[in-house]
Amino acid sequence: MRRFDGRVVLLTGSGGGQGRVAALRFAREGATVVGCDINAAGHAETAALLAAEGQTLHGNAPVDLGDPEQARRWVEEAAERHGRIDVLYNNASAARFGLVGEMSVDDWRYTMRNEIDLIFYTTKYAWPHLSVRGGVVLNVSSVAAWAGSKAAGISAHAAAKGAVVSFTRQVAVEGAKLGIRAVSISPGFVATPGTEAFVRNPATRAVILDGVLMDRPGESDEVVGTAMFLASDEASFITGTDIVVDGGLLAL
Ligand SMILES: NC(=O)c1ccc[n+]([C@@H]2O[C@H](COP(=O)([O-])OP(=O)(O)OC[C@H]3O[C@@H](n4cnc5c(N)ncnc54)[C@H](O)[C@@H]3O)[C@@H](O)[C@H]2O)c1
């Protein structure tokens, strides 16, 4: 018996770095994985990787989850096709950066739309389905929720990721009586295809690793492994909290 046999996992951002690893690992553990991404090519590449292992990536792309109607359609089609939702893994996000005094209002709104609004939409529309037999909402935040950065203008990103943590806490409160657990994960810097250039460049690598006790970036597998534990029955007494996966950055 694998950890997610018979479970339906809705995963956002299935075309991205961590989302791709999550799709593969949840599917290997028996889950029916329903993905989506605004990036259709990325989602298709993930689907091909699963197919090469004899697995299926369900769902579709492009889906822009910042549009509530597209989010609703993706969630409801998944519930209709697969009959249930057990886990909603809100992994997708996109941010823009800039110093507070210089950042445009458009960039601020873009970040809110694509880092917090979309989590509300998918959670709202998945709620009636999660309520049937209980389930898990996993939201990906960031260490930006917990600490500022001297290296980059992260005000919008930090505000949105802080909102992910507090939104998750309230979801846990409202979900408890329905058997719904809600947990956020706050990764530190994670090496992905999208961040590879920063990791390879010695100057940016030094900035990224400043203060990281383990002196290396995290791997997608390390975040996804945490997510799998939190989504599983082994974490049955964990809700309303945030789990930091940062190589010790916040310990300093
Ligand atoms: N990589 C890091 O260093 C790091 C650190 C802390 C937190 N995180 C968080 O981890 C999560 C995964 O990030 P990643 O590193 O895999 O990044 P990524 O950019 O590779 O993946 C994110 C995916 O989300 C998709 N997406 C963005 N906006 C969308 C929308 N409106 N609708 C549908 N899909 C959308 C993107 O197309 C992309 O495929 C994100 O929530 C991110 O904020 C990442």
Give the distance (Å) from ligand 1 centre to CA of residue 118. Answer: 12
Ligand 1 contact via 94 beta carbon (within 6 Å): yes
How confident is the model over 145-155, as pLDDT tens digits?
Answer: 999 998 899 99
How confident is the model over 12-28, as pLDDT tens digits?
Answer: 999 999 999 999 999 99
Task: Take residue 189 and report the two structure tokens written for it.
Answer: 């810097």
Mean of pLDDT values over 162-181: 98
Ligand 1 contact via 18 beta carbon (within 6 Å): yes
Whole-number pLDDT of residue 151: 87
Cβ–Cβ < 8 Å for 121, 72: yes
Other C-beta atoms within 10 Å of 4: how many? 23
The ligand 1 atom nearest the CA atom of 43: 39
Ligand 1 contact via 160 beta carbon (within 6 Å): no
How confident is the model over 193-222, as pLDDT tens digits?
Answer: 989 998 999 999 999 999 999 999 999 999
Give the distance (Å) from ligand 1 centre to CA of residue 2. Answer: 27
Give the distance (Å) from ligand 1 centre to CA of residue 91. Answer: 6
Ligand 1 contact via 13 beta carbon (within 6 Å): yes
Whole-number pLDDT of residue 53: 98
Compute the distance between CA of residue 30 and CA of residue 102 in angstroms, rounded to an integer.
47
Task: Take residue 201 and report the two structure tokens written for it.
Answer: 């460049």
186: β partners = 244
**Domains observed in the chain:** 8-251 (3.40.50.720)
Give the distance (Å) from ligand 1 centre to CA of residue 177. Answer: 31
| 109-143 burial: b if 16+ Cβ within 10 Å, else e | ebbbbbbbbbbbbbbebbbebbeeeebbbbbbbbb
| 149-180 burial: b if 16+ Cβ within 10 Å, else e | eeeebbbbbbbbbbbbbebbbebbeebeeeeb
Compute the distance between CA of residue 83 and CA of residue 79 in angstroms, rounded to an integer.
5
Give the distance (Å) from ligand 1 centre to CA of residue 191. Answer: 12
How confident is the model over 66-113, as pLDDT tens digits?
Answer: 999 999 999 999 999 999 999 999 999 999 999 999 999 999 999 999
Nearest to 28 by CA among 6, 53, 59, 60: 53
- Please state whether beta strands 180-187 and 135-140 pair in parallel, antiparallel, or not at all (unpaired): parallel
